Amino acid sequence: MELALTAEELLFQREVREFLDSGLKPEWRGVSDSDNRSQPEVTAQWQAVLATKGWLTPAWPAVHGGLGWSPMQHHIFKEECSKRRAPKLSSMSIGMIGPLICLYGTTAQQAYYLPRIISGNDVWCQGFSEPGSGSDLASLKTAARRDGDEYVVAGQKIWTTYAHYATHMFCLVRTNPLAARPQAGISMLLIDMKLPGITVRPIRTIDGEHHFNEVFFDDVRVPESCLLGAENQGWDVARSLLAFERSGIADVVATRQALHDVLAIAAGEARGNGSLLQDDDFGDRLARLEIALDALETFELRVMDAGPRCAGRAHDASILKILGSEVRQKIHMLGVEALGQVGAVWPDDAAPAHPSGAGRHLVQDALFFRAASIYGGANEIQRNIIAKSLLKSPVEI
Ligand SMILES: Cc1cc2nc3c(=O)[nH]c(=O)nc-3n(C[C@H](O)[C@H](O)[C@H](O)COP(=O)(O)OP(=O)(O)OC[C@H]3O[C@@H](n4cnc5c(N)ncnc54)[C@H](O)[C@@H]3O)c2cc1C
């Protein structure tokens, strides 16, 4: 595919730049470099600016506010936002459950939930993993028993990112414990986090932040109108969602921004008579990562460009997830190395600052993105999916 921008794409790029220059306040830039919920009120304001412009949900179907942008337009928009360190939006609300409700929701669900996602009124979290059911997700045990026109939910979720901010959870539950295959007895419920019987407990991570939680359900009564898709068909719904999630994890533009940070740091670090950038070994490793990132970017655009022609190629999302997370981790670690002593210190307020200004968030990102090869389905599992898909194995994936 052609990577050079066409005249129309250049015009679009200019429109995006003008919009960001006027709509993105300087004080909003960089607020969510390390944690996309660290200043939720700023994220909400930025989301409102995007919604007013009509650019909040460009990838949704047109009937629900999508814009039909080409893959290159999406890429340009994300790249320009990333360059200006625009606040990160909730990928679970805008990027995952929104498109899923467009796909599987009833008319009533679409009318109720979609405007609330767009307005930022509702913020979603993902209730898939359980203790003992991560990679082997189909073994999940949280039960939803029918009682009249309600489901009674009992069990526990874990590693639930931002459950402490979320107003709602899209949650996989077991509705038929006797199904012939474990996958056949699962449903997806859209659960209001304020319902009685839900307890959220924090889990702190190596980067010092509170990203995720344990969530306990103690006979929570969920109306049947909150079932997304058909009862016991939740596995298919979940697989569509995981494809959205895994493709998004590659996040090439954010990785490109990290690469620019590493370049800036290395250019300012003295080595011999020159800078670290001129060091043969460092320069070689940086160049290899830049080439890998270029290849990943081309692959991402090709996958997006192929769109529906690639239906059934579940392994594309897995390839993007593996390569994206691995390249990102390597770039961050190179950045930590370039930071020298600053990179070796825990990045709290008392830590020495690096003149580039990139030090703190780069170290935090390097620590946080260790998790990128685990969340969204561990990379080993993605390799299994790729192998089974390409070998056309009849085994369930
Ligand atoms: C930062 C972060 C945020 C997360 N956010 C959420 C969230 O919001 N919602 C949610 O539901 N979950 C979330 N998760 C959980 C995530 O989806 C799981 O951690 C992941 O699916 C792996 O499951 P597990 O932790 O139980 O590891 P396990 O399944 O116990 O795996 C442990 C190791 O064994 C390997 N392994 C397991 N089975 C196989 C196999 N068959 N073949 C080869 N290797 C195998 C795995 O690759 C892994 O390396 C998050 C995780 C992290 C780290």
- b or e along 105-121 (b: 16 or more beta carbons within 10 Å of the residue's beta carbon)? beeebbeebbeebbebe
pLDDT in tens, 36-59: 556 778 888 999 999 999 999 999
CA distance 179 to 202: 34
Question: Residue of the nearest CA to atom 35 in ligand 1?
Answer: 380
E strand or H helix at 70, and its extent? none
Among the options 245, 269, 297, 300, which is catalytic? 245
pLDDT band at 33 (very low <50, low <70, confident <90, very high): low
160 touches ligand 1 (CB under 6 Å): yes
Written as six digits, the tokens of 313 are 């190629």
Give the pLDDT band (50/70/90) at residue 350.
Answer: low
| Helix ranges restricted to H, 85-233 | 98-104, 107-119
**Ligand 1 touching residue 132 (CB < 6 A):** no
Query: Using one digit for the tens of pLDDT, what is the confidence trace for 229-250?
Result: 999 999 999 988 887 777 677 8
Question: What is the percentage of the chain residues whose pLDDT exceeds 70?
Answer: 92
Q: Is 130 a catalytic residue?
A: no
Residue 30 phi, psi dihedral angles, 5° rounding: 85, 0
Whether the predicted pLDDT of 396 surpasses 80? no
pLDDT of residue 1: 54
Distance 233 CA to ligand 1 centre (A): 22
Query: What's the pLDDT tens digit per position in 174-231?
Result: 999 999 999 999 999 999 999 999 999 999 887 677 888 999 999 999 999 999 999 9
Of all protein residues, the one whose alpha carbon is nearest to atom 27 of ligand 1 is 134
Q: How far is the CA of 250 from the centre of ligand 1 (A)?
A: 17
Q: Which domains does the chain have, with CATH numbers?
A: 7-89 (no CATH), 124-234 (2.40.110.10), 250-390 (1.20.140.10)
Measured from the Cα of 131, ligand 1's closest atom is 26
- Euclidean distance between CA atoms 394 and 397, whole angstroms: 9
